[in-house]
Structure 1
């Protein structure tokens, strides 16, 4: 049975473990920034199609082995049956990441792995695959930890957070899989009112709408596993047909977004249009401090707070936080608010007492998701 690894934004490993289990994965091994698992190819296809949290699904083609030099790594790659897995006509790209690697140059390691794959093809087929660093057919990933190296073939192609939907972004976008993970952490479920008063290009809104309508995140895109020689086209077609049949009709949903800036709202409108979800979400332009609950029923407020680059200097943010705290306290009693930010000063400046602080990473940026259960009156301890 194949061995896989699914990287994800740090902080989402537990959620991803639960998600992969629901797809039929076994022997799950959470680690910092991802989850290892076993499964057949149906599990691999399903994870690519349905995972809202994984960044990629990597097929481990070589387990962790000891190396001492670049030549050792070359020989390990040379020993693998690459022509059995994909065609010489497929373009390739090699990615190398390392932790505490004793070798000097990751670029040289990358070159040696690429040379090994090309030499293997030349030996077996009399020709070598071409390199395409922008849109390769096959991505090969090498992970070096200390003196061990593991090799993977990427079954996803483009990263899974690229849903084939969002074409227009603002200055500080949040990745789709991180947005989906945050929505899951809030306890929000389809049917519960949701508002994002700083919606930017609409990532939270689109993820919530797709969840509400049971639209699988990978339904609108292609995957690298479709080019593997063992690709089961019949199984994949049946899986996609089942996913399409399970989608709910597009309709108005209790999902609401607003933003102070017109260009951000134009981007959100365009992205919802591209996703075929425009009528599901209510959008309007207003200052987050003036936003009001869109329904009588309490719900969930979620926001990716601006930090520095979107709204200027730190002193401006220090002025915003207490005002935002007052606005939430005065208008959103009964709601649960979740504020995502890299600016950790918010804990003091909001003048509200968070009931939970969850460490998360937006790429390499360490952030926090602050939970505020809004009650009538004071939220201070």
Structure 2
């Protein structure tokens, strides 16, 4: 419980910080609040920082400095109306940052959202778990790279470091050896992919970005990249018994900026023809309905009436959030019967209809 900033100072000051860091370490304090009684969250962060530094100076004769970009000790203070909780952030960089994406476009999809899309689709990188994977709007390659890491058995975050590794309890030789054994065990589970993965984009610049990201992620060998228009590029050739899963985050006029906020459409989005989704559905009908084992398409969109716009029957809708944008992940079975005759109208069927909500 707390009443004012003095209580917050006392909360942080009573912790044995020399057990965690030395004066040569750096720190940062972030504050989140829900119905806090305090007027200034910045002042609350300052008092937590003062308490840590004072405790270190009292016991060690020196204090740590502040690093707002890459601190050794990232602290998070959460304030409710009457209760304050101080956390040590053991991850550091957000967990969606896997450590491989350096080349990005206007609106990179978070790696965790791409993984959630694949999980919702039941795609697990095996012939019976979705089969081959295709992203025809790959951008910087996030979906394809996440899929390739799943198919290859690469643990998320294997290529990155975590903040806890710099803290004293985890910096001892036994702890470092344990962490190295865990990393080696994860590396030993890496395997060749059992299914092919394909990615393409209209922008050859983005294809180059995606290819470089894939190399850094350790899956450059597992993805076949191409340039090409999603409205024209034919499906990849697959064995007759291997099904295909198409997974895409198409341009839809709303983008997410670096801070996770909705941003203006990119120039690419503004240049899309008004009937782009109708053209995409027509291309799927021509090119993707003849494969003996079948294709299934999963499309992420904030537009609830997308199935009606595309004149397709959605067999499932999964609610997902792309930053602040509420979306649905629509599933379309690419068989001849899924494409509605244009003369039938474009009204989107509701729950209970074969094209409505499904579990």
TM-score (norm. length: structure 1): 0.77
Shift of 1:195: 0.2
Q: Which residue of 1 is the match for residue 149 of structure 2?
A: 210
Distance, in Å, in 2 between the alignment partners of 1:378 and 1:244 is: 42
For residues 123 and 239 of structure 1, do their structure 2 counterparts lie closer, same or farther at Cα, with a shift above 3 Å needed? Answer: same
Are the aligned partners of 2:78 and 2:85 in contact in 1 as well (CA < 8 Å)? yes
Shift of 1:348: 3.4
For residues 346 and 145 of structure 1, do their structure 2 counterparts lie closer, same or farther at Cα, with a shift above 3 Å needed? Answer: farther
Distance, in Å, in 1 between the alignment partners of 2:326 and 2:198 is: 27
Q: Which residue of 1 is the match for residue 331 of structure 2?
A: 371
Distance, in Å, in 2 between the alignment partners of 1:255 and 1:216 is: 18
Q: Which residue of 1 is the match for residue 343 of structure 2?
A: none
Are the aligned partners of 1:329 and 1:377 in contact in 2 as well (CA < 8 Å)? no
1:307 aligned counterpart, secondary structure? coil
Shift of 1:269: 1.5
Q: How does 1:131-146 map to 2 (within 5 A)?
A: 131-146=66-81
Q: Which residue of 1 is the match for residue 102 of structure 2?
A: 167
Q: Which residue of 1 is the match for residue 345 of structure 2?
A: none
Distance, in Å, in 2 between the alignment partners of 1:328 and 1:146 is: 54
1:282 aligned counterpart, secondary structure? strand
1:169 aligned counterpart, secondary structure? coil
Are the aligned partners of 1:209 and 1:277 in contact in 2 as well (CA < 8 Å)? yes
Matched, 1:312 2:269: yes
Q: How does 1:275-294 map to 2 (within 5 A)?
A: 275-294=217-236
Q: Which runs of 5 or more residues in structure 2 are unaligned?
A: 254-264, 341-354
Greater RCO, 1 or 2 (C-alpha within 8 Å, sep 6+): 1
Q: Deviations over 1:167-209 (max 9, x none)?
A: 1001110111111111111111213200000000101111111
Distance, in Å, in 2 between the alignment partners of 1:340 and 1:101 is: 36
Aligned-residue CA RMSD in angstroms? Answer: 2.1
Q: Which residue of 2 is the match for residue 187 of structure 1?
A: 122
Are the aligned partners of 1:68 and 1:147 in contact in 2 as well (CA < 8 Å)? yes
Look at both structures and tell me which one has the larger radius of gyration over its CA atoms.
Answer: 2
Are the aligned partners of 2:288 and 2:295 in contact in 1 as well (CA < 8 Å)? yes
Are the aligned partners of 1:329 and 1:378 in contact in 2 as well (CA < 8 Å)? no
Matched, 1:239 2:196: no
Q: Which residue of 1 is the match for residue 35 of structure 2?
A: 100
Q: How does 1:1-381 map to 2 (within 5 A)?
A: 66-191=1-126, 192-231=131-170, 232-249=175-192, 253-294=195-236, 295=238, 296=240, 297-308=242-253, 309-310=265-266, 311-313=268-270, 316=272, 318-333=274-289, 334-380=294-340
For residues 221 and 88 of structure 1, do their structure 2 counterparts lie closer, same or farther at Cα, with a shift above 3 Å needed? Answer: same
Shift of 1:214: 1.2
For residues 163 and 176 of structure 1, do their structure 2 counterparts lie closer, same or farther at Cα, with a shift above 3 Å needed? Answer: same
TM-score (norm. length: structure 2): 0.81
Distance, in Å, in 2 between the alignment partners of 1:193 and 1:81 is: 53
For residues 356 and 229 of structure 1, do their structure 2 counterparts lie closer, same or farther at Cα, with a shift above 3 Å needed? Answer: same
1:198 aligned counterpart, secondary structure? coil
Q: Which residue of 2 is the match for residue 11 of structure 1?
A: none
1:312 aligned counterpart, secondary structure? helix
Are the aligned partners of 2:72 and 2:167 in contact in 1 as well (CA < 8 Å)? no
Shift of 1:253: 4.8
Say how many residue pairs are matched. Answer: 314
Distance, in Å, in 1 between the alignment partners of 2:39 and 2:316 is: 42
For residues 77 and 349 of structure 1, do their structure 2 counterparts lie closer, same or farther at Cα, with a shift above 3 Å needed? Answer: same
Distance, in Å, in 1 between the alignment partners of 2:141 and 2:168 is: 38
1:369 aligned counterpart, secondary structure? strand
1:355 aligned counterpart, secondary structure? strand
